[in-house]
Amino acid sequence: MHRLLGPLRWTSWDAEAGEHRMHEQPQPQVHSLLELPGEAARRGYAAVEVCHFHFPSVEASYLAQLRQAFAEAGVSLDTLLLDYGDPSTTDGIRQAADAKLFLEWIDIASQCGAKRIRIVAGEAQPTDEQAILRSAQALRELAEYASARGVQVVTENFKTLTSTGESSVKLLDSAGDGVGMITDFGNYKGKAKYGEIAMTAPRSSSVHVKPAYDEDGLPDEAELIRCLDAVRETGYDGAFVLIYDGPGDMWEGLERVKRIVAPYV
């Protein structure tokens, strides 16, 4: 719902200064983040995932309000998606700064009632075995910290390091059972895509149903069904997270995706 939730607050790494930067991208606010749980409930949704750049504040008082908003709506905040970070980096300064940021956002996830936090595995090449090991160790340590705060750490086939099914599985095997996974239909590419979906879906807490769209916002139904079939054949029994990023009304776009996904739930 990124086009409806107000300004987006992106985090980036300033290598020259050796510190994080935050850039605010103007967006219209149709719903505040505090209003989102109630609106989602009204439209029949049981849970949502929220990106870190949607948070207008991380003050304790605001996080308590957000937690209460979800509780009152009867909607689960399944995953806080942290869209920034590179646990695979060899840059010691960035490594330390990112590690601190990861811990801060785990605390935020705990305070606002998120069940999980998605931490990106990294931006190294998927064939870089040492990068996979570095990322796995970092994720394993973060998972231990998060577990003590009632939050599970998950990663995703997002960014370069986990851009293949093979590298994703290697990462999960190295990280251990404390680190979970999200499989995103839009992030595996090429002819191997459907086999790669089948490799990681069984280990995923959620599947991001991200279709391809035409210029009118109509999803490529045949391609999406092929992705969904690949998931069903694995015996997957987790959440399907609907994603719409095409033109027009975002809620209507989600309804078009929901119609295709409904037989698989």
Section 165-174 average pLDDT: 98
| Residue range 52-97, pLDDT digits in tens | 999 999 999 999 999 999 999 999 999 999 999 999 999 999 999 9
Q: Which residues contact 237 (CB under 8 A, 6 or more apart)?
A: none
Closest CA to 73 of 115, 108, 44: 44
Instruction: Point out which residues pair with 49 in neighbouring strands.
Output: 79
CA of residue 146 relative to chain centroid, distance:
16
Section 92-108 average pLDDT: 98
Closest CA to 77 of 51, 109, 41, 49: 49
Statement: residue 191 has pLDDT above 90: no
Closest CA to 182 of 83, 251, 66: 83
Statement: residue 1 has pLDDT above 90: no
Section 224-230 average pLDDT: 98
Section 221-239 average pLDDT: 97
Look up the pTM and report it.
0.96
| Residue range 33-50, pLDDT digits in tens | 999 999 999 999 999 999
pLDDT reported for residue 59: 98
Fill in the DSSP letter of residue 187: T
